[in-house]
A and B are shown apart, each in its own frame.
Chain A
């Protein structure tokens, strides 16, 4: 994976497969403390302690088409090789929280990448699921909550023109956020 944003798209898909109706994504870029933290939380069916223990093994997966599952394994390795840490908390019937941290300036840390694209695609591809996206850069926060947007607009977020505009707005806001040093 060339971007953190691609990993996020991938891990968020797990929550969708687990039947969650809400996915929360937090990206916290703390350049002062040299730390990047990404938290992805779902309210899906969760995992047993046994599954949590083995899920980052590439040869463990829930799918039936193949016996290999790489998403979480790659995500964990990405964090570990950047002097970061990785954890999964999960409870059957409650949901799962995947947390990964990175040393911000580590040479192997992939760029955040097109996160606005990732979020837009998650929203566009899963109109029945809600997303809360929180992005913090050095303490300045930017939030999107599709429950709020849907409530205000009184319709689902499926219109391509609308989604395009949403993406543009996100990109602008993130640029502003990063410039606030």
Chain B
């Protein structure tokens, strides 16, 4: 039986350990990828993959990524909701990898809501 090598993971963790003090700070931005059957079939996993890539590059410990179920807006899936502390959540529709990158770089990092494919402010 093979197992994942925990030693490797520990090494990676040590490399990034300088950030651990920040990691316990407050979350200021929450990004939700909606992953119901509809979202998954429409490509939510690729969107989530891209988001995780961007997160790894950005190295921001105050951003939290979570998944959730269907919201009932199946026809506009994959949907992604960005919640910035103190602001109304913005929901994006028909996301793909490129749109996710754009939303992350422009909205999450710079605070510019991408109205082109925003579905609603909730």
Identify the A interface with B (CB < 8 A): 1, 6, 9-10, 13, 17, 63, 65-66, 69-71, 74, 114, 117-118, 120-121, 124-126, 140-144, 148-149, 152-153, 155, 158-166, 169-170, 173, 176-177
Q: Which of B5, B6, B12 has the most CB of A within 10 A?
A: B12
C-alpha gap A166/B15 in the complex (Å): 15
Whole-angstrom distance from the CB of A158 to the nearest CB of chain B?
Answer: 8
Identify the B interface with A (CB < 8 A): 1-6, 8-10, 12-13, 15-16, 20, 23, 33, 35-38, 40-41, 45, 48-49, 52-53, 55-56, 65-67, 69-72, 74
Known: A17-B69, A121-B35, A165-B8. 18 other contacts (CB 8 A): A9-B45, A13-B69, A63-B69, A70-B37, A71-B36, A117-B49, A124-B52, A140-B1, A140-B2, A141-B1, A143-B1, A149-B6, A153-B9, A162-B16, A163-B52, A166-B4, A166-B9, A173-B4
**B49 — which chain A residues lie within 8 A by C-beta?**
117, 121
Whole-angstrom distance from the CB of A4 to the nearest CB of chain B?
Answer: 12
C-alpha gap A66/B73 in the complex (Å): 9
Contact check: which of B3, B10, B37 meets A71 at CB < 8 Å?
B37
Interface of B is mostly: helix
**A162 — which chain B residues lie within 8 A by C-beta?**
9, 12-13, 16
**B12 — which chain A residues lie within 8 A by C-beta?**
159, 161-162, 165
Interface of A is mostly: helix
**A163 — which chain B residues lie within 8 A by C-beta?**
52, 56
C-alpha gap A166/B3 in the complex (Å): 11
Asked whether, in the complex, the Cβ of A169 is within 8 Å of the Cβ of B4, the reply is yes
Task: Report how many A-B pairs have Cβ atoms within 8 Å.
Answer: 114
Asked whether, in the complex, the Cβ of A10 is within 8 Å of the Cβ of B2, the reply is no
C-alpha gap A19/B56 in the complex (Å): 29
**B2 — which chain A residues lie within 8 A by C-beta?**
140-143, 173, 176-177
Asked whether, in the complex, the Cβ of B45 is within 8 Å of the Cβ of A149, the reply is no
Asked whether, in the complex, the Cβ of A164 is within 8 Å of the Cβ of B45, the reply is no
Contacts A74-B37, A142-B2, A177-B2; is A117 near B10 (CB within 8 Å)?
A: no
C-alpha gap A125/B69 in the complex (Å): 11
Whole-angstrom distance from the CB of A44 to the nearest CB of chain B?
Answer: 13
C-alpha gap A121/B16 in the complex (Å): 20
18 contacts between A and B (CB under 8 A): A63-B69, A114-B45, A124-B52, A125-B33, A143-B1, A148-B6, A153-B9, A153-B10, A153-B13, A155-B20, A160-B52, A160-B56, A162-B9, A162-B16, A163-B52, A166-B9, A169-B8, A177-B2
